[in-house]
Structure 1
Amino acid sequence: MSFRSIVAAALVIAGAAAHAAAPQVRTQAPGWYRTTLGRFEITVLSDGTHAFPVDTVMEGVTPAAVDAALAKNDLQRPVQGSINAFLVNTGTQLVLIDTGAGALYGDCCGKLLANLRAAGYAPEQVDVVLLTHLHKDHVGGIVADGKPAFPNAVVRAAGADADYWLSQAQRAAAPAFLTSFFDSAAASLAPYTALGRFQPFAPGAALLPGIRAVAEPGHTPGHSGYLVEDGGRALLVWGDVVHVAAVQLDQVQATVKYDTSAPDARATRTGLLERAAREHLLVGAAHVAFPGLGHVRQDGAGYAWVPLNYEGDPADPH
């Protein structure tokens, strides 16, 4: 073999070795997704994902039915659950619906503020925070190191949820596994309460032009969705109506042990799924795979999730 051939072979081997040695990155792109709703801009923010404990949390459904529903969607246990929040820019106000878990779920989550910034906004720009309910993975993100994460915002949630989760009497009467939920709700809201910036509302209240609350009791006493409307289009941000879409759209009767009232949660889910399919509502779901935007359609005795088609230019009119 000539000297030139030996050098060429050595260069090929060295190049291949260098290419193979490139480390895997193993991170996702910043977790935000943007679309429009009439004149409103909607930005979905990911707080992260966590392994949802299907085995110990799902109720009202057999393990075999759970496994069959998961398999139908090419899933198996454990299922990664998304924690999504929804930022609505109305043109006059910046409204954040839910805030993720903050520091309460560990390293898996607490990514909302970073993703908010990556999406082009700052926490100081948020005018109003609307909470679907006061569970850890929705309220935890309103604080950072014990201080308001959104220092200029008013925080709002249904009065029935505030009355329940901020009550020491209810805490004492609740199942032991919920004790930390009461403590987290109180601690997260405390900085805003001290500033007079926590304002509970009545069921179905009109909160802002184009945004009103929708009573969705069951998961918690004051669990609320938010109907966002502009330009003849509507988005229902429904909170925790569905936790594991593969299971609860197929087995609508399935509940979770965190439901304050399983019968009410089941009735709420049944009614909203029927309404969303009938009215072809765009849905923003807290725990459907990020970005959690889509429609539901009837599928036999259950429903199917139809993700929103990806839009390369969210400013493009629909």
Structure 2
Amino acid sequence: MTINRRTLLAALTTAPVAALASGQAVGETQVPAQGLPPVLHQFSLGDARVTVFLDGHLPLGTQLFANYDADKADVVLAKGLHQMTPEGMNIPVNGYLVEQGMDKILIDAGTADLMGPNLGGMGAGLAAIGVDPADISTVLLTHMHPDHSGGLVASDGTARFANAKLVVSQVEWDFWHDDAIMASVPENSRGFFQMARMTVAPYQNRLRLIKGEEAVIAGFTALPLPGHTPGHTGYMLDSEGQQLLFWGDIIHSTALQFAYPDWTIAFDTDPVLTAATRHKMLDRAVSDNLLLTGSHIDFPGLGRVLRQKDGYVYQAAPWQFGL
């Protein structure tokens, strides 16, 4: 299946933007925003220092899984500590800072205030380690959903990272800026396009659009990982012979999608391609023994993939104490 207006329409019809923009599942009661405390983890990789920020959490309701099977889910959940609540499975939203020499590079920017009081903690995390937004030299964007690009803009619509270059896939950029595609989706889902455009607009004079697998800045290679969105992109960090793959939204639910890789969610633009890309990357992670992290893997989201008889399992890395 190719990504086109029909597959996009099917995905967004079942996932109106209000469900994502509110950070709220059906039936969930929100509390007034109190400001999230900084939650972060730091570790070293070669000569790079990586900080993982917990921007907050989202409830992923069972109705958002295209292939959800309650009996199969119960089998997996019984083996661990994840719990399915009436609102769904809570998943984290993670963002990253990579410091190499004088460069400070963000991988995704969190949500800021676009998605409700349970999200938006990445800014507090940066402040907690003494990093001013003006210090950021580059932002590598995995894709243009608001839980990844929302933090790019300040409340007045200006660039939050005033000195940063923005790197994003050409395919991704073109998709969200296509007026014909936006016009073809339900009106209550056009906010996805509006938010995508709004969050990247202040960076158009310092924008780098990438095509395919290519080196983007020193130590980083972009890897096309299409399906979740047309230009969804991962980034491989190489530092002193060590590698770390930032694979974006290949996995949304740590509890369920390693065990059942074919389970897609309503926000996957092309479900068939999403599952195929996921299988490809899970196989590569196993065969190459990759150290990886993902935007929605259980915080701090650092680990490896192991193969099981009927699927895969995620193995979290030990906490790295000190740098």
Equivalent residue in structure 1 for 2:272, among 249, 258, 263 = 263
2:31 corresponds in structure 1 to none
Q: Match of 1:6?
A: none
Contact 2:37–2:121 (8 Å) recurs in 1: no
CA contact (8 A) 2:38 2:121 kept: no
Residue 64 of structure 1: how far off its partner (Å): 2.4
Distance 1:177 1:301, change over 3 A: farther
Query: Which residue of the partner structure matches residue 273 of structure 1?
Result: 282
Q: Which residue of 1 aligns with 2:141?
A: 131
Kindly report which structure 2 residues correspond to 1:66-105, keeping only aligned pairs within 5 A, or say none: 66-77=73-84, 78-105=88-115
Summarize the alignment of residues 224-303 of structure 1 with structure 2, pairs less than 5 Å apart: 224-303=233-312
Distance 1:252 1:223 in 2: 17
> Structure 2 length as normaliser, TM-score?
0.85
Q: Once the 2 structures are TM-superposed, how far is the Cα of residue 29 of structure 1 from its aligned partner?
A: 6.4
Partner of 1:45: 53
More divergent stretch after superposition (296-305 vs 107-116): 296-305
1:77-107 deviation digits (Å, cap 9, x = unpaired): 2222110011111113111000111111111
Distance, in Å, in 2 between the alignment partners of 1:284 and 1:75 is: 19
RMSD value, Cα: 1.7
Secondary structure, aligned partner of 1:59 = coil
Match of 1:173 in 2: 184
Structure 2: distance between partners of 1:178 and 1:165: 12
TM-score (normalizing by structure 1): 0.86
Percent identity, aligned pairs only, is 34
Amino acid at match of 1:147: T
Contact 1:86 1:284 in 2 (8 A): no
- Distance across 1 between alignment mates of 2:64 and 2:313: 22
Q: Secondary structure at the match of 2:114?
A: coil
Match in the other structure for 2:43: 35
CA contact (8 A) 1:67 1:76 kept: no
Deviation at residue 119 of structure 1 after TM alignment: 2.2
How many angstroms apart in 1 are the aligned matches of 2:129 and 2:317?
19
Alignment pair present for 1:187 and 2:194: no
Aligned residues: 286
Q: Which runs of 4+ in 1 moved over 4 A?
A: 26-29
Q: Are 2:213 and 1:200 equivalent residues in the alignment? A: no
Question: Is 1:56–2:63 an aligned residue pair?
Answer: yes
SS of 2:90's partner is strand
Distance in structure 1 (CA, Å) of the matches to 2:228 and 2:40: 26
Question: Higher relative CO (CA 8 A, sep ≥ 6), structure 1 or 2?
Answer: 2
Unmatched segments (≥5 aa) in structure 2: 1-33
Map Cα deviations across residues 283-306 of structure 1 (whole Å, 9 max, x no partner): 111001111111111122211111
Which deviations, in whole Å up to 9, do the C-alpha atoms of 1:206-225 show, x marking residues without a partner?
A: 10111010010000000000
In 2, the alpha carbon distance for the partners of 1:70 and 1:105 equals: 28
